[in-house]
Chain A
Amino acid sequence: MSSIRLLSQRCSKSLFNRKSFSGLRVLQARQSSQYFPIDDNVFGLNEDQQQLRQTVFNFFQKELAPKAAEIDKTNNFPELREFWKKLGSLGTLGITASSKYGGSDGSYLDHCIIMEEMSRAAGGIALSYGAHSNLCVNQINRNGTEEQKEKYLPKLCSGEHMGALAMSEPGAGSDVVSMKLRADKKGDYYTLNGNKFWITNGPDAETLVVYAKTNPNAAKPQHGVTAFIVEKGMEGFSTAQKLDKLGIRGSNTGELIFENCKVPAKNILGQENKGIYVLFSGLDLERLVLAAGPVGLMQASCDTAFEYVHQRKQFGQPIGEFQLVQAKIADMFTSLSVSRSYLYSVARACDNGKVSRRDCASVILFCAEQATKVALDAIQCLGGNGYINDYPTGRYLRDAKLYEIGAGTSEVRRLVIGRSLNELYK
């Protein structure tokens, strides 16, 4: 009870920079788009979920969307940590975590809705959110001991701390099991040596879930991986340069360096040499929640493009009424709707305890590739203006492309699905 009070008190005290409306009608120019409405009835959202969407939509459109262009341009979000605390007070950072540790006891569908609306506002920051809330917080919530959850979750849920997850290395991407980061046991602690690469939130995170090889000589290499919780400030842990990316800019991605980094044995997440189960089961849910990213980007593409083609007139009429443009916007709408339907269906299945590896891989495979196409279509709808960086469509494309790569490339996803289908017929 008191924690809820605290949350709403925190809310009223925090400095929301709401654009005030002069007089009675809002005169602010909201980027270059109105919003293309989402018919939540088609997607089967109940009243609570619809209200959730409304709430987070309002919040992200006011507090994040106006800054998206600048964040993308400068690859920097100066108010990141303040924004993180606002996210915390809303209850979004620990959406699937237990309220016992400051989480919101929400579902994966709730998580997808939040991720979708944040991605619609600013794709880059949304990925940082996804990495924090699912890759880090959810993993600790699912696999942590009571002590670990009590130690790490509260600050991660409140926004005071940022979270990250590190599995990829310069030499281990798709072949993640071939990772070389070593963790050598030394009594009641381990020393970690090696590095990690492409780590979202790497430069900023206070709490990181790190996968390392505790047994490089295991008969099966996957049985030598252990997951650890590493804290910024632990001896031997440092971060290197922030990467300058094509898209998802503003979400700090970097290299992590471990030089005889001392991590206590009690920081093992799950069990020694059983880290692979933590990793792969987490990957399914990661793919589910991150799939909401491209759905949000597709929604943003439709928001911008549909408005534009009905405003832009050529040959005496809005271009949206020419057949070839009608065909394009129809396809964009259909791709968006199909993606969203599949996403929500898989989310509901996961919420019912039925996590399907095949469908989680499939949903992100589909949504990511659709998002790139839809973003390209959006640029085309805007014509010459789509090619100018004053308009957001270029950013949508650059942000969308990431989702065909991160959380398992499209190629790996296809292999996973194919093999899973083969299994059915063995």
Chain B
Amino acid sequence: MARVLVGVKRVIDYAVKIRVKPDKSGVVTEGVKHSMNPFDEIAVEEAVRMKEKKLATEVIAVSCGPTQAQETLRTALAMGVDKAIHVEVTGKDLDTLQPIHVSKILAKLAQDEKADLVIVGKQAIDDDCNQTAQMTAALLDWPQGTFASKIEKGDGILTIVREIDGGLETVKVKTPAVLSADLRLNEPRYATLPNIMKAKKKPLKKLTPKDLGVEIKAHQEVVSVEDPPVRQAGSIVPDVDTLAAKLKEGGFA
């Protein structure tokens, strides 16, 4: 039976209107509503369902971030996760934090916690990197099943159906493995009130990246963050020939 490590990220809530900071250094996060990354909710749901189906013995949620990341972990605990690990990253380190660092942290934790499975959301809705699952698998030298829309457990093997541009791809991976959850994998549950109250008693461990031997070193620098350009007006063309000519002019044909 598997021990499952689930990575969750605290991001700006999907319903919030994003505002760019006037100094173009990033987006406004102060006082803005945050929640668990929606794809991570799906990952947590999958892990909890595995436990309910007795395919997993223990589910551990991990989050890298400031103190408020503990709220996200508590949501995971209320959904049915057994214990939580908060890797505290604050200040300058938080600005520098990238998927590469998170992957190193997850890889180390996967080894420390003797995980058989690492599940994360396919990407975070704030940076849309879509890198953590892949890099974590590479660091651990484990097989990966990304964009999973269906996971079936066999004997030491997982059958994953992946949603890719061309359609659906089915792969078989040997465990231990790293998976990333896509939208249609499942529909996450709402935490019930009794479970929210029970979550209080579940263990939440606090660590730093240093404890795990990971240095948050900057590999890139954010030069500027701007709003996407305002949509320009189009023009109506009289016939197809004019359209074709315009497309050629614009270098699109």
Contacts and interface: CB of A to CB of B under 8 A. Distances in A.
User: Is B one of A's binding partners?
Assistant: yes
B31 interface: yes
Contacts of B49: 12
A26 B12 CA distance: 12
A7 B187 contact: no
Nearest to A52: B196
A91 B193 contact: yes
Contacts of A105: 197
Contact of B196 (A34, A51, A89): A51
B192 interface: yes
A20 interface: yes
Interface stretch (A54-62, A174-182, A237-245, A329-337): A54-62
A55 B190 CA distance: 7
B78 interface: yes
Interface residues on chain B, size class:
20 to 34
Given A48-B200, A51-B191, 7 more contacts: A3-B194, A7-B192, A21-B183, A25-B125, A51-B196, A90-B190, A106-B193
B83 to A, nearest CB: 17
Contacts of B14: 21, 25-26
Interface of A: 3-4, 7-9, 11-12, 16, 18, 20-21, 24-26, 30, 34-35, 37, 47-48, 50-52, 54-55, 58-59, 89-92, 95, 99, 104-106, 110
B191 A55 contact: yes
Nearest to A59: B190
A12 B189 CA distance: 6
Interface string B177-195: 0000001000101111111
B198 interface: yes
A89 B198 CA distance: 16
A54 B35 contact: yes
A227 B145 CA distance: 62
A60 to B, nearest CB: 10
A16 B192 CA distance: 14
B52 interface: yes
B123 interface: yes
A8 B189 contact: yes
B141 interface: no
A179 to B, nearest CB: 36
Contacts of A4: 192, 194-195, 198
A55 B78 contact: yes
A45 to B, nearest CB: 13
B190 A16 contact: yes
Interface string B1-45: 000000000000011110000000000000111010010000001
A9 B17 CA distance: 34
A104 B191 CA distance: 13
